[in-house]
Chains A and B, each alone.
Chain A
């Protein structure tokens, strides 16, 4: 079946550090891949997405590249800020069928000033 595995959290970094949150997936066919972010007290919001192999999604300084050969979609940011503190979810959607998303377990990120 389809599944998403994220690196274990929580992750704590200092401001301006480099961030990587690993995400790997298992899926048949060619899924679309997503990163969602949940700020404290809020619902999830889409951060970025990629719909085919080698696509790079980017937003707010975050980037992730769809790597079919390694079935990965790692989230990166070159210089994190305190305001990036949140829970990050990797997700996939099958390339056919309904709109269901499959989420990873989430990674809590805390950035210290």
Chain B
């Protein structure tokens, strides 16, 4: 089975802190994604990566950056956390063999910024 793991289930940070969210997948997937999930808004794509060291902005990249130094790991960075970044963050991965590939999701990290 595909496994996508995220470094923390719950995280509490203070405004202005630098925050790292880590995601690891064990299926050699080329594509990796970071979403945030907010009530009434569904999932919104922050960034995605289709290869090591490659990244593309999603729909809401402001205030975030990402890093993909190894194929299995995709990090989301909040350079200076703000209260409006309190949310559930979901990582996903998929193969890149065409447009029918399923995205597999991690369990999510619930981030609270005080």
Contact = CB atoms under 8 A, between A and B. Distances in A.
A42 interface: yes
Contacts of A101: 43, 45, 103
Given A6-B42, A46-B103, A103-B42, 10 more contacts: A36-B105, A42-B108, A46-B102, A49-B100, A89-B43, A98-B31, A98-B48, A99-B94, A100-B33, A103-B44
B96 A99 contact: yes
Contact of B42 (A49, A89, A97): A89
Given A95-B99, A98-B48, A99-B48, A45 B41 contact: no
A96 B40 CA distance: 28
A99 B108 contact: no
Contacts, number: 63
A43 B108 contact: yes
Interface residues of B, number: 28
A99 B41 contact: no
Interface string A82-110: 00000001000111111111011110000
Given A43-B4, A98-B50, A99-B94, A105 B40 contact: yes
A3 to B, nearest CB: 10
A15 B62 CA distance: 43
B69 interface: no
Contact of B48 (A4, A44, A49, A100): A100
Interface of B: 4, 31, 33, 35, 40-45, 48, 50, 56, 58, 90, 92, 94, 96, 99-108
Interface in A8-22: none
B89 to A, nearest CB: 11
A41 B107 contact: yes
Given A43-B107, A101-B45, A96 B102 contact: no
A105 B41 contact: yes
A93 B41 contact: no
The 7 tightest CB contacts between A and B, nearest first, are: A43-B105, A103-B42, A105-B42, A103-B43, A44-B105, A43-B107, A46-B102
